Amino acid sequence: MSRILTIGEPMVLFAADELGPLYEINHFTKYLAGSEVNVSIGLKRLNHDVTYVTKLGNDPFGKYIYNFLQHERIDTSHVMFDDKYPTGFQIKGKTLKGDPDVFYFRKGSAASHVSIKDIKTIDFAKYDHIHLTGIFPALSDITRETIYEILKISEDKGIQISFDPNLRPTLWKSQEYMIQTINDIAFHCNIVLPGIQEGLILTGSDDHEKIADFYLEKGTSIVAVKLGENGAFVKTKNEKFYVKGYKVARVVDTVGAGDGFAVGFISAILEGLPIKEAAMRGNAIGSLQVMTPGDNDGLPNRYQLENYIREKGENNENTISNR
């Protein structure tokens, strides 16, 4: 299997057990959250070798996250502890429709201080793929510089990079700077995975093909535009197609669906499967994730994934469309 490197900020998540405004909620369940760590967990459950890079506070939250990563058999050799800065956390509401309310407590976190110096010990030559998101460079000037150093090293060594914009406007000093920086990073990546609304913000268009063309014209090889329950639109220099979404009986929580898509898409590409199958796998894992309350508890192992696709596939013959 492939060797994958990710870098990001993991956080402890307290998800409301009851409906209602968060200030009225008395009971929460603890989970692990963070886009890059979700992707790490998902890829490892599909038997890929994953190294996760981050910095945790030397506190109970940091120890919880570290133990969680080790339990998932993720390589933690580049997970650092910091005595000065804390581990970030978030609280998430519960809703029956749409996206839940999420509040972050991450400013000045240990992960926001991961520097170029901290990645000097990484042997990048041993990795086949690097996955990045737009969250980590938004944390601080330090993490932004670190991302650009990773991009430089990756390009020098010819390592394939996937990038999920994962916009967090409140973390940036302005929307204009966010757009400029996120697009600049995306232009250095081989695979770009924007959501349709992210595409509108980043390119000025909500036309999925125009969004794809925006990045393809700058040198990106593959663009997969996530369309929510409608599936995904994928375009390369040589082909384009839609892949319909998997219908689910009940959506519990939409958070983490995009990370699930990234897990499916990236893993399939690394396994040498056709891009259409990669998009189908992405949609499958995304649909599994929305049926669970946490950000990564719906991410399947290979046996669970194959069974799910087989069961759904019997009624999914027209999943691919070239319209």
17 is catalytic: no
pLDDT interval class at 321 (50, 70, 90):
very low
Q: Tell which wins on pLDDT, 225 or 318.
A: 225
The candidate with the shortest Cα–Cα distance to 99, out of 290, 285, 244, is 290
User: What is the enclosing helix (H) or strand (E) of 191?
Assistant: strand 191-192
Characterize the bridge pairing of strands 89-92 and 11-16.
parallel
- 106 pLDDT higher than 60: yes
* Residue 46: domain span: 3-321
Average pLDDT over residues 80-97: 92
pLDDT in tens, 256-300: 789 999 999 999 999 999 999 999 999 999 999 888 887 788 899
- 317 pLDDT higher than 50: no
Q: Tell which wins on pLDDT, 255 or 320.
A: 255
- 316 pLDDT higher than 70: no
pLDDT of residue 253: 67
pLDDT in tens, 5-50: 999 999 999 999 999 999 999 999 999 999 999 999 999 999 999 9
The reply to whether the predicted model has a pTM over 0.85 is yes
The candidate with the shortest Cα–Cα distance to 144, out of 120, 123, 162, 171, is 171
Number of domains composing the chain = 1
- Cα separation of 223 and 163, whole Å? 10
Helices within 81-161 (DSSP H only):
141-157
User: Can you list the positions of beta strands (E) in 1-88?
Assistant: 3-7, 11-16, 28-33, 49-57, 79-82
pLDDT in tens, 138-189: 999 999 999 999 999 999 999 999 999 999 999 999 999 999 999 999 999 9
pLDDT interval class at 233 (50, 70, 90):
very high
Out of 82, 253, 259, 295, pick the active-site residue.
Answer: 259
Chain-wide mean pLDDT for the chain? Answer: 93
Write the CATH number for 254.
Answer: 3.40.1190.20
